[in-house]
Structure 1
């Protein structure tokens, strides 16, 4: 993030502590009943938005427990803040949390946290799972969680500052320029606490039966965030295909199966067949190159393609110093790949640190006229990172969890492509991003996806491009240095042109404290950093629920505030239920129109209009246009450009969201 606005600031502790006052969502009382939520909300509040998934989500804090409910709390670098709904259950050895199944299920997913080892690198611990009359053991690990320090982070809890020449909010200083040097507590900024495990129960457990999770004595505490339960069908079988077993693949995972995959793909292309990967765990420790091929698994619960991260003897031409499991199209410079279709398997990586030059993503390269469906991707750097130019690719119905960086990124010249009905949880950077670096993106859509708990940055982020649509998504609980919906002229992206549309999205508990600025971000925030945003911005039908600070933010960086503007934004048919501060925070020149924007439970003045901080006699440099039908926040005296600038008003806790 860029340097701080040069304004008086509150201390970080005071600003963060205000977040603990915000309430938890609906269903605050723990219960032994089968309470099903979506993003920790009553599903009726988000009907028709987000991904349609096979599992039922149940929050631990609403279940029966002998442990302790932690949270709600939105303070970054804490376990509650990174939990779904900002609350979870802490168990000591022998304590349990017990869920009542809402539907029959034969498979569960547990989202949890256990401590790191003293020197970093993680611990493991058993978790006893009693489901109906069945008792199983799940092995938990913290080897893929617990990052520390400044970007790009470290696994070492005792590390000194990675960037002592950066501004740090905690001391309101640049440590390298400070005498005496400030004492920075260690571990510094711990984060990325959670991981998840899946377990096939071996039998169907009836609706109304109990699933009890009991903590072991191997670790001092276990935090349970939630349980997903589902009924997994029988494995898919394709007998008329190039079966990787026939080419030497090992379904036990003991031997490297990468050569067998290569042979099966080569044979299938010649014979005009699909490639089939049956149930099993297949060890693959490098990229599988794909072009003009269809690869089908038996289902992502049954077919698991798993690999170790491998250090390269010398860096690759792209700068990678590691390789690992992943399915990659050809490089765009070599023409890219076409007609690639991947479905029905899991990709499990072994990425434990963030190295931005590494190509250790679940799916990568350039793939045009392609589909990626029904994958489960975990523990890679980015779930799917596409480097264009490429076009006409569909990414649908995937589950992407526990990434070190993004969930999915359409990067550089991706056109006419769609990511739809995907579920992304616990990404280490933007969950869904389009980044038009060097070559513009155009005609792309992010539609009906669910994003939960992105630990860093945003739920959905658009960096430049032409005619982009973000529609019908559900985004919950961004943790720090970002928010739910974002459009930014930054990171060297090409300009926004045409129309940028946000329509029918719902955000909940969004808007984090931006550490460098020491101000709260909006649930949707539009940021002019590298240039003005001159494209038409149309926001229609969005719902912003329980926003930690403001619902809508239009902003520029202090150093360029007199250079760039956001002149052409339009908000229509928007509902805002609960803001910690304002409905609109304008900190840039330009203007926006509002029509049928209804708000309730607003914590401060409806409009925080600072413009570009010129405080001119003519009023703010940002113009607010009232097109009628705006209720609960926009008073006539605020129009068109009254200065109502209050940089950091007190945060007021709104009530939990409820039906409109």
Structure 2
């Protein structure tokens, strides 16, 4: 954690609120001109192709009412006009296609392009892309030309500095590194290298991953629907293979101006980003608290290389496209008491051990970090600490370790309408005793661990809600994960394209979490292209999966109204790790009003003792048998140790007939440990 606010004499420069307001108007007007938003009509262009707008790579009608309400339109590159090469589909880990949204993208070589037709008026775009790493790691840069209707040329400098991790957890930036943990089980050779004679050779780069990054660009004027945005690789570009995954387009409103706030420019903040503004932010916060004002950060890029400690303060930016707080990762001379060896830009509440912070309200700015490696002890998150009775709204958080990581106990936090992208680890994590808090209408893409998580380590998270969020392409772990807790809800979310060692929605008794107690509600969510392959176990997970590793899972868990679409393997998995299969079980899970459209293998795979009920679970396009019931692998004459209780209305299936009916329930053994995968057709309206 950063030290407390440094002392300063307010009386040496103590402007009146009237002066603050006047300067805010002048500053915002001046800086606003540098990011002017035009409204002129686009010039004439050839008739464009009809734009294909998707949500998580699907027709919006298939996910209506699920996920975040966002200001942008998503267009997949594979649906646009291009002279490049479409890659994918592929769901194999460590491939460019698998990490792309929708599992497809477009690869461009020198001189090639992809054309996107704007579906609505727009003055800003976000490009998700991948370019190669440097031969020895650390990334390269490459130029991408942007033109609209053949004119208005702009250029983006792409980078792979924040992409391309390798090797075993917690990963390496070196593509030539040997195995980081030679005593670990290596699935590629099914061995423990240190115990194998001769030692196996692992090809490098070993397990490359986290390929993509994104970049935002203001176009400088508003272009009408039907205009063509061309992304082109210049001839001779260093990015020999530039992969374009998608383009988001939107019409960004004019900068927000707060006329009665403490403007950070009055306290020495530098909107050019050349000088560090952390001290100026501290002074503005102290002044605002003294005079009961908000803090206003006008348009500009502000360099901040450490934590800004916030408590009883409101901080507003001009909007996340205009106000950018950007910092370098700084190596500490000695490790901090919490184990951090680096610090960096972030807004942090006080630690819970000293009471935490309250009444903090953050809105309308971007946080651009500089995190390129995963060091779990580092506090280099966009938002951190303990924040009670607080709100976080309208932020864009990019290139930090975790977008928002909260160490409780704390209560009553509202996180709404934020965008979090390209994280080394989680998107948002409620860690230890976070209660009565809401995460709603947030969009997360390309996290390096769970997109959204509640982790009840030592103290349970309770009465929290994850609602109407979109989580796309988490590279590692799950879209949404609950690790213990009481009376928590996951509702109306959209989760797409989890890559490895996790899946769409996860209920796990692991990582030292407190038990699940009371109720857990998993309601009205949609997953797509989940049910991944578990690389360590070499089995398929479920789009939703339950894992009893350290305790029984025996709370009342209601899974109601969820849709599991285009599952690579199973829709539902209930599993206990083999060494503890006779110690722990999964009970009290109820599935009702579920739609399963497409499974590579089964609707339900049970690899645990316990039971679950099923009512009105409709399935179609099932690749293997509806139920793969291995129980605890004792294969007793009494049947499986896991019982599936049929409460009626469970219809549909695949080539074997109704998915649930034929198995002489409740506990017929139907164990095929690794059934062949049959790729399902694309989802369609039910």
CA-CA distance at 1:441 after TM superposition: 0.6
Structure 1 Cα separation of the partners of residues 582 and 233 of structure 2: 56
In structure 2, the partner of 1:598 is 618
Residue in structure 1 matched with residue 187 of structure 2 by the alignment? 169
SS of residue paired to 1:596: strand
How far apart, CA to CA, are the structure 2 residues paired with 1:233 and 1:343?
15
- Whether contact under 8 Å (1:520, 1:550) holds in the other structure is yes
Q: What residue number does 1:158 align with?
A: 176
1:245 aligns with: 265
> 1:139 and 1:638, CA in 2 relative to 1: closer, same or farther beyond 3 A?
farther
Q: How does 1:383-394 map to 2 (within 5 A)?
A: 383-394=403-414
TM-score by length of 2: 0.91
* Match of residue 636 from structure 2: 616
Which among 378, 382, 386 is matched to residue 402 of structure 2?
A: 382
Aligned to 1:556: 576
In the aligned structure 2, how far is the partner of 1:520 from the partner of 1:247?
Answer: 56
Please give the alpha-carbon distance, in whole angstroms, between the structure 2 residues aligned to 1:438 and 1:549: 34
SS at match of 1:76: coil
1:294-373 aligned at under 5 Å gives the runs 294-373=314-393
The answer on whether the counterparts of 1:72 and 1:86 sit within 8 Å (CA) in structure 2 is: yes
Shift of 1:511: 1.6
How far is the alpha carbon of 1:219 from its aligned partner?
Answer: 2.1
Partner of 1:148 in structure 2?
166
Matched with 1:138 is 156
Which secondary structure does the structure 2 equivalent of 1:523 belong to? strand
Q: Give 1:454-493 correspondences, 5 Å limit.
A: 454-493=474-513
> Contact 1:465–1:495 at 8 Å: present in 2 too?
yes
Conserved 8 A contact 1:69-1:87: yes
Task: Find the partner of 2:532 among 505, 508, 512.
Answer: 512
Structure 1, residues 113-167: CA drift from partner, whole Å, max 9, x if none? 0000000000001100002331100110000000000000000000000011111
Preserved CA contact (<8 Å) 2:614 2:646: yes
Secondary structure at the aligned position of 2:289 is classed as helix
Contact 1:32 1:62 in 2 (8 A): no
2:674 corresponds in structure 1 to: 648
Which residue does the alignment assign to 1:22? none
In 1, the alpha carbon distance for the partners of 2:317 and 2:684 equals: 42
- The TM-score normalised by the length of structure 1 is 0.95
Deviation (angstroms), 1:311: 0.2
Q: 1:28-43 residue pairs with structure 2 within 5 A?
A: 32-43=49-60
Who is 2:685 aligned against? 659
Distance in 1 between residues matched to 2:539 and 2:233, nearest whole Å: 39
Matched, 1:64 2:81: yes
Conserved 8 A contact 2:107-2:244: yes
What pairs with 1:577-592 in structure 2 (closer than 5 Å)? Answer: 577-592=597-612
Structure-to-structure mapping, 1:633-644, within 5 angstroms: 633-644=659-670
**1:27 matched to which residue of 2?**
none
- Residue-pair matches, total: 630
Q: 2:544, 2:571 within 8 Å by CA — same for their partners in 1?
A: yes
Alignment partner of 2:301 out of 281, 286, 299? 281
**CA offsets, 1:255-307, max 9 Å, x none?**
00000000000000000000000000000000000000000000000000000
Distance (Å, rounded) in 2 between the aligned partners of 1:193 and 1:512:
18
Secondary structure, counterpart of 1:166 in structure 2: coil
The alpha carbon displacement at 1:208 in A equals: 0.3
Q: Does 1:219 align with 2:239?
A: yes
Aligned to 1:230: 250
| Deviation for aligned residue 1:638 | 3.6
Per-residue CA shift, 1:473-504, capped at 9, x if unaligned?
A: 00000000100000100000000000111000
What's the Cα RMSD here?
0.7
Note closer, same or farther for the CA distance 1:273–1:627 as it changes in structure 2 (3 Å cut): same
User: How far 1:636 moved relative to its partner?
Assistant: 4.1
Q: Deviations over 1:393-430 (max 9, x none)?
A: 00000000000000000000000001000000000000
Structure ID, larger Rg: 2
What residue in structure 1 maps to residue 128 of structure 2? 111
Residue of structure 1 equivalent to 2:112: 95
The Cα shift of 1:628 comes to 0.5
Give distance in 1, aligned partners of 2:98 and 2:446. Answer: 12
Once the two structures are TM-superposed, the CA of residue 635 in structure 1 deviates from its matched residue by 1.4
Q: 1:183 — aligned with what?
A: 201
Tell me which of 435, 442, 445 is aligned to 2:465: 445
1:431-478 deviation digits (Å, cap 9, x = unpaired): 000000011110001000000000000000000000010000000000
Matched-pair contact (CA < 8 Å) for 1:410–1:435: yes
CA contact (8 A) 2:143 2:239 kept: no
Q: Deviations over 1:350-385 (max 9, x none)?
A: 000000000000000000000000000000000000
Does 2:286 correspond to 1:260?
Answer: no
- Alignment match, 1:543: 563
What is the CA–CA distance in structure 2 between the aligned matches of 1:565 and 1:326, rounded to whole Å? 41
Q: Distance in 1 between matches of 2:669 and 2:177?
A: 45
**Aligned equivalent of 1:417:** 437
Deviation by residue 1:509-560 (Cα, 9 ceiling, x = unmatched): 0021111101010000000000101101110000000000000000000000
Which structure 1 residue ranges, 4+ long, deviate > 6 Å from structure 2?
none
**Alignment deviations for residues 174-201 of structure 1 (CA, whole Å, 9 cap, x no partner):** 1111111111010000000000000000
Name the CA distance, whole Å, in 2 between partners of 1:471 and 1:127. 39
Q: Is the 8 A contact 1:607 1:638 kept in 2?
A: no
Which runs of no fewer than 5 residues in structure 1 stay unpaired?
Answer: 1-30
Counterpart-to-counterpart distance in 2, 1:638 and 1:601: 22
